[in-house]
Structure 1
Amino acid sequence: MNRDDIDNIAAWLADRGLAGDDETSLMQGFCRRCVDAGLEMSAGTAIIDTLHPVYEGRVFHWTRDTPDDTRVTEYLPTAASDNEESWRRSPFYHLLQSGEDELRRRLELGETAGFPILDELKERGETDYFAMIHRFDKKTAIGEMDCLMSRWTTTRPGGFDEADLEALRRLVPVLGLAIKAASLARVAESLVEAYLGRDPGRRVLQGRMSRGVVEKINAVLWFSDMKGFTALSESIASDQLIPLLDDYAEAVISAVHAAGGDVLKLIGDGTLAIFTADDPEEACCSALRAEAELRLRLDELNQRREDEGRPTTSIYLGLHIGDVFYGNIGSKDRLDFTVVGQAVNEVSRIASMCSSADRDVLFSAAFRESLPEEEGAKLVSVGRYALRGVGRAQELFTLDPELAVFPLR
């Protein structure tokens, strides 16, 4: 690889990084160009931490045997996984602890001591191993995203030559900058979707952030909360409370998402979500499917918790349809992307009547009227109820227990 090759690959990385290519495209394009320019690498791996509610980071692995397929692995926090011991015996852990930036081992010469992974690579026929860490400034690091780790191997007899190593030293920092840019964009997307909801998150990232800018939409409104949560929270050990909330929130949120809904807000043990579609019938049917899926998930969850000797409960749910304002509401320093309007107040009141009506789910008359006739026939009246803050009594409906609503599975 000559100077012109290095300059061309660096220019390509800068161009594609600015264009917003994802990490797999960057890794694949980089490795293929290096090989085409004469750098005989057999495999390359790049690792970068992230900021995500579940995963700690992502690994991008390219091999010459499958040059068009860059494998991506998302890994859990090391302390929460079964890989902590192997991590502590890895070259990357050594580099992080020692403060060094590079580690080279000539595998064909038997330089594998101290790192079990190097023995494995040598057995696969690798002759040379070169690892690097490029650290980010701690002042600008986000979460644990404080460096890019990479490793490069070859099967060429004699291993890498000095020109190969110098090319990697020149190019990998540019690759790291492009991967970091793509990863930061992914972090922003993950954060806004996790804390605002999927559709609100997308809207915010598209630039719809102005305070007071809202859109009037017609939506199915979902409000659910846990049955008997206050009494339950007072009767269980404090260290069981958050796992309890997480378990039942997971059942609700996954059911809503599976049916195409968007969760807008978690309020203690309560969940506010919406279903939208060009046709109100479609939105209502999606909400019905989510309700049916929720019941299946609750059955599985409660069985598991019972087997583990942990407390169980159920979910009260109110479903309504109406016009709401959807957008940014709040102060200049703290905004919330949510829905407001009379229909939002009404759906929370409907959910609160589940206990009085002795039903797990209640529907408004407006919701029932918006359903296709066949689905509407599955809902039966439970009577008229005075809803707090609503001017007149409302007729509410529930599912006829003899008529099934098919879940998503």
Structure 2
Amino acid sequence: MDIQIEVKGQDEGAEVLKQFNSMVQELQKKEKMLPFISSAVFEVLRSGSGKIETKYSGNAVVLFSDIKSFTSISETRDPQEVVDMLNDYFSIWQDKIEKNGGIVDRFIGDAISVVYFEKSSPHFIHNAIQTSIEVMETLEKFNEKRKEKGEFIIENGVGLVFGEVYFSMVGDENKMEFLIQGIPVALSEYLEGQSRYSSHSHIILDSYIKEKVKYQYDFAEFEVENKDLDIFYEIIL
């Protein structure tokens, strides 16, 4: 996890940033537990003979999400307040991911990357979308409670992309990590960034996903800045 902020000078603002950086260490304890070793991981890595492999490639939906304007939030809010918010926020994600059979790839500061393998469930596309929707709905209630307590609220976006990914486990008995590579990883992050232009749900996905679930959800076409890319869609909630 890397949300350390460079500290320059010795003024009061610099001291606040130092406090924030120290608070980040609390979140790093959470990172050591993730990606969590769930049954979904072992099912993905299990070969036809039943042996647990360390590598796998296959079709999946990659979900990427982060908090909008997080740098500004971290620079203007009390460090402990920010860390408490992040802990509560990531707890929402973990609950919905576990419920829908996703595998956490990594936390990246205020961002999260999740993968849903076709091998894990015939409903993997639906599961990825449902995770996104359920998080958004829970986040709305989360913000309402924060407003009532006079606390700042947050917004996020989600990018969902289908494609082939390469999944491997690396590390030793002290700490295992997942490594997920492939076009969907980078493209899902790009779509999340574009979601700031969203008019509806802030959940942006590719045309393949839309086609597979077109009778289950409502969609609007979504235009991205890179005109060389495919047509994308936004879920209407």
What is the TM-score with the length of structure 1 in the denominator? 0.44
Match in the other structure for 1:219: 60
Partner of 1:355, secondary structure, is helix
Partner of 2:105, secondary structure, is strand
Q: How does 1:151-300 map to 2 (within 5 A)?
A: 194-197=33-36, 198=38, 199-200=40-41, 213-278=54-119, 282-300=123-141
Match in the other structure for 1:367: 209
Q: How does 1:6-405 map to 2 (within 5 A)?
A: 194-197=33-36, 198=38, 199-200=40-41, 213-278=54-119, 282-329=123-170, 336-358=177-199, 360-369=202-211, 371-375=212-216, 378-386=218-226, 392-401=228-237
Match in the other structure for 2:23: none
Q: 1:350 to 1:192 in 2, by over 3 A?
A: closer
The answer on whether the counterparts of 1:193 and 1:200 sit within 8 Å (CA) in structure 2 is no
Give the superposition deviation at 1:270.
Answer: 0.5
The whole-number CA distance in structure 2 between the counterparts of 1:343 and 1:280 is 18
Number of equivalent positions: 201
Pick 1 or 2: higher relative contact order, CA cutoff 8 A, min separation 6. 2
The whole-number CA distance in structure 2 between the counterparts of 1:233 and 1:220 is 30
Percent identity at matched positions? 17
The whole-number CA distance in structure 1 between the counterparts of 2:198 and 2:140 is 21
Larger Rg: 1
Partner of 2:123, secondary structure, is helix
Q: 1:353 to 1:330 in 2, by over 3 A?
A: farther
The whole-number CA distance in structure 2 between the counterparts of 1:393 and 1:373 is 21
Give the superposition deviation at 1:201.
Answer: 7.2
Q: 1:216 to 1:305 in 2, by over 3 A?
A: same
Q: 1:224 to 1:384 in 2, by over 3 A?
A: closer
- One-letter identity of the residue aligned with 2:233: F
The answer on whether the counterparts of 1:386 and 1:394 sit within 8 Å (CA) in structure 2 is no
The answer on whether the counterparts of 1:385 and 1:394 sit within 8 Å (CA) in structure 2 is no
The answer on whether the counterparts of 2:44 and 2:117 sit within 8 Å (CA) in structure 1 is no
Q: Supply the RMSD in Å over aligned alpha carbons.
A: 3.2
Q: Deviations over 1:121-160 (max 9, x none)?
A: xxxxxxxxxxxxxxxxxxxxxxxxxxxxxxxxxxxxxxxx
Structure 1: which 5+ residue stretches go unaligned?
A: 1-190, 402-409
The whole-number CA distance in structure 1 between the counterparts of 2:219 and 2:122 is 15
Q: 1:208 to 1:381 in 2, by over 3 A?
A: same
Partner of 2:231, secondary structure, is strand
The whole-number CA distance in structure 2 between the counterparts of 1:324 and 1:266 is 18
Give the superposition deviation at 1:324.
Answer: 0.4
Q: 1:383 to 1:279 in 2, by over 3 A?
A: farther
Q: Deviations over 1:281-327 (max 9, x none)?
A: 61111122212211221122111111221111122111111100011
The whole-number CA distance in structure 2 between the counterparts of 1:270 and 1:394 is 24
What is the TM-score with the length of structure 2 in the denominator? 0.73
The whole-number CA distance in structure 1 between the counterparts of 2:131 and 2:94 is 9
Match in the other structure for 2:11: none
The whole-number CA distance in structure 1 between the counterparts of 2:188 and 2:111 is 12
Give the superposition deviation at 1:279.
Answer: 8.7
The whole-number CA distance in structure 1 between the counterparts of 2:153 and 2:102 is 25
The whole-number CA distance in structure 1 between the counterparts of 2:42 and 2:95 is 17
Give the superposition deviation at 1:245.
Answer: 0.9
Q: 1:242 to 1:354 in 2, by over 3 A?
A: same
